[in-house]
Amino acid sequence: MRIEDIQPAEGSRRRKKRVGRGFGSGHGKTSCKGHKGQKARSGGPKGAGFEGGQMPLQRRIPKRGFTNNFGAEFAIVNLDVIEKLRSEGTVTPELLIERGIIKDLKNGLKVLGNGTLLGPVTVKADAFSSSASTKIEAAGGKVEVL
């Protein structure tokens, strides 16, 4: 959105400013643009990031990083959260979404091993870290990969 795109509210009585229509209008001659200069010329305002001809910031700073188009991004849950849901018996991605623990599954659910389990629980997820799967099985639970 730009300043010239803004319009009065629907039903407003405010009239559009008509410039360049003679001295009597109060907006004649220079059409409210002042005298000379870049902003008075045709072609409108310069684009976002224009710095008066100086090399723009987005071109001065070097490129960094890499985006893997094939990388899978998981919703992550640790064992300390699963311990709180142990009374459910089976922890599934649907249960975690229902309880508001995770908002978006992304490419699936991954369980990490931060925390401890005090009793058996069945956990269904798309991926498990090695420490999470060993802790779940050590507590007498089951690991099910979806």
Structure tokens at 133: 């799967």
pLDDT at position 119, please?
86
Average pLDDT over residues 101-106: 88
Model confidence at 110, pLDDT cuts 50, 70, 90, reads: very high
Average pLDDT, the chain: 88
Q: Is 119 helix (H, G, I), strand (E, B) or coil?
A: coil
Q: How far is CA 88 from CA 85, 92, 129, in A?
A: 6, 10, 22
Starting at the edge strand that comes first in sequence, how are the strands of the sheet with 127-128 ordered? 75-78, 109-112, 127-128
Model confidence at 118, pLDDT cuts 50, 70, 90, reads: confident
| Strand-pair partners of 134 | none
- Express each pLDDT in 37-63 by its tens digit: 888 888 878 888 999 889 999 999 999
Model confidence at 87, pLDDT cuts 50, 70, 90, reads: confident
pLDDT at position 7, please?
84
Q: What percent of the chain has pLDDT over 90?
A: 27
Question: Which residues does 5 contact at the CB level (< 8 Å), separation at least 6?
Answer: none
| Strand-pair partners of 76 | 110
Question: Selecting from 3.40.50.300, 3.100.10.10, 3.40.640.10, 3.40.1710.10, what CATH number does the domain 75-145 have?
Answer: 3.100.10.10
Domain extent listing, the chain: 75-145
Rg (the chain; Cα; Å): 31
Max distance between CA atoms of the chain, in angstroms, equals 89
